[in-house]
Amino acid sequence: MPTRLGTSSSSMHTQASFGSSIIESSPIRQSPTRNGVRNNRASVTRDPYESPSRQMQLEFNLKLSISDRNFNEQLDQAAAERARLHEEQLARAAEEHAKVLRGAELELQRLSLEEEKARLRSQEEQQRAIEQLQKEKAQQQAEAHRRQLEAQRREEEIAKQAAEHQKKLQEAEARQKAHKEQQAAAERQRREKEVADRKAKETADAAENARVQQAAQQVTQQAAQQPLAQAAPAVPAQPTTAAQAAVAAQAPNDAINSIHAKYLELHKRMKEFRVTFWNQNKKVGQPLKEPIGNARRNMRLKLGQINVARATSQAAIKSLRADSFDVALNTPGATIDIRPFLVNQTIPPLANEAEAQYPAFLLYMWIMFEKFLLKQFEKEASNEDGRIIQEIGLIAASLFADQKYMWKGISLIDVLLAKMHHICPILFGVRGTMNTVEGQKRLGWMPIDKQPPTGEIYMQRIRGLSAGFAAMSLRAFKTVPALPMSEYWRVLVHVCNTPPENLYPGHFAILNGLLRDFYKKFLGFYGVQARGVLRRAVVDVPARAPERCKEAAGIISVFQEQWKKENLFLN
């Protein structure tokens, strides 16, 4: 368009100039005739450049030139306006960009500050966690130190009491000696007066002494034929007559049957309490329904998860304490008189009946614990690795020895022993015969998991329960254990002292569970005496086993050869 306008202006200018030059330089315009005399023909013929059309063309060109100029000016103005607007937009964009940049910088600073605050909070939390761990460790150390001091104090008290008792015995002996001396002096005076009576009495006394010595020798010979005592190393008093010796020989069996009957009665009370307690609390809307169910499920689950890893055992016992026993201890609920559930414990004097109360929920958890525990012992007996049973036994012994769950310092171990007396009587020296249904029941031959018993399952149960008993009892505790180590000695001696006519394969399953994984601990605790018991268990008892026990006895007799490879010789 500018080119056109320029061209139009130039053309117009050129044509106008050209016309003007022609007109101005025309010969006619410069002729004398035009200057002096008007030529008629010239007056008739007009200049073609002065025609109306030419004039209109000139006017049109002029207007076109003006229009082009105006149009160019408008274009220039529009271009300038657009340039101005563009510059304003660029300025606004630059300003907006600057604002965004400032906002981004501020956001970056805010994020940096938040990260720094988060880092400082994390450091503070870590520091608090470290301080809490240090505080807990210090508390544990203080608690351990306190328990150690208490143990030392108890030992000192026991030693002091023993010293006082010894002192009283010495004083009593001194008084008795002085009294005897007085009696001897009086006797001498009487003997001086009655010489004949003294001689007769001396003769009668000599005869009586001879008879007593003869009876004592017979008792000594009978005791020598029985190499094991019923209790862990302690020498019983010798009877003075043959009749007393017979009574003493029969007394252990009577004591075994008596305590066994008490535990069976306790087992019945436990079952009645367990069924009644659950029936009362399993109804919808009962506040204890959910806590009881959760605690019981957690107990079954954790006992089934125990393996040889110590970390797993520690997590299991922690969960058993926190999620089962602590829940039962701290949940408000009914209480019960605990004394009928204690058989072999000394009940302390009570100020009133309220002191005999024990949380019913916690007693229920003990009863469920012994059921799950013994079932786990039976299950793990099929595993050649006995370390799992040892871990389970350690957890059980620790829980039963926990003062927090005791009643006036008395453990609820009788609940466990009552169940073991019910399903494994021969472990505690109970004797019988397998020839009758009643005799089989007496020896623990009863349905297992509501199924008729078989020889294999019965032997596995006896072996697992015996190993579990060893795992709980054959341990050295800093505090008083719930199941003393002497109980291991006692059950082992019960089997060794069983007459051949009362021996059955179950007795050798007991020896297997007690000895296979625990003979080294037994030797470590009892030394030479344990060696003698081991020889009796793996050599003498299998040698006198009846025909029905030959296969089971053969497994036990092999132990001697296996132990020789470990430099343990029983000869």
State residue 283's pLDDT score. Answer: 86
| Three-class DSSP category at 194 | coil
Look at residue 49 and tell me whether its pLDDT is greater than 60.
no
| Rounded distance between C-alpha atoms, residue 570 and residue 543, angstroms | 15
State residue 291's pLDDT score. Answer: 94
Signed CA dihedral, 302, 307, 312, 317: sign only: positive
CATH no. of 252-564: 1.25.40.510
Per-residue confidence at 459, pLDDT binned at 50, 70, 90? very high
| Rounded distance between C-alpha atoms, residue 54 and residue 452, angstroms | 141
What are the tens digits of pLDDT across the range 272-297? 999 999 999 998 888 999 999 999 99
Lowest mean pLDDT among 207-221, 400-414, 553-567: 207-221
Q: What is the arithmetic mean of pLDDT over 102-111?
A: 91
Burial class for 90, CB neighbours closer than 10 Å (0-12, 13-18, 19+) = exposed
| Alpha-carbon separation of residue 158 from 151, 164, 416, 478, 566 (angstroms) | 10, 10, 29, 15, 39
| Alpha-carbon separation of residue 255 from 86, 180, 344, 412, 491 (angstroms) | 115, 37, 12, 22, 14
Of 28 and 85, the one with more pLDDT = 85
Lowest mean pLDDT among 238-252, 384-398, 459-473, 548-562: 238-252
Domain ranges in the chain are: 1-23+50-112, 252-564
Most confident of 47-61, 84-98, 471-485: 84-98
Per-residue confidence at 470, pLDDT binned at 50, 70, 90? very high
261 token code pair: 């009957």
Residue 475 · residue 394 · CB < 8 Å: yes
Per-residue confidence at 190, pLDDT binned at 50, 70, 90? low
Look at residue 249 and tell me whether its pLDDT is greater than 80.
no
Per-residue confidence at 165, pLDDT binned at 50, 70, 90? low
What are the tens digits of pLDDT across the range 345-361? 889 999 898 999 999 99
State residue 7's pLDDT score. Answer: 42
Per-residue confidence at 143, pLDDT binned at 50, 70, 90? confident
Q: What is the arithmetic mean of pLDDT over 543-565?
A: 92
Look at residue 6 and tell me whether its pLDDT is greater than 50.
no
What are the tens digits of pLDDT across the range 429-455? 999 988 888 888 898 998 888 888 888
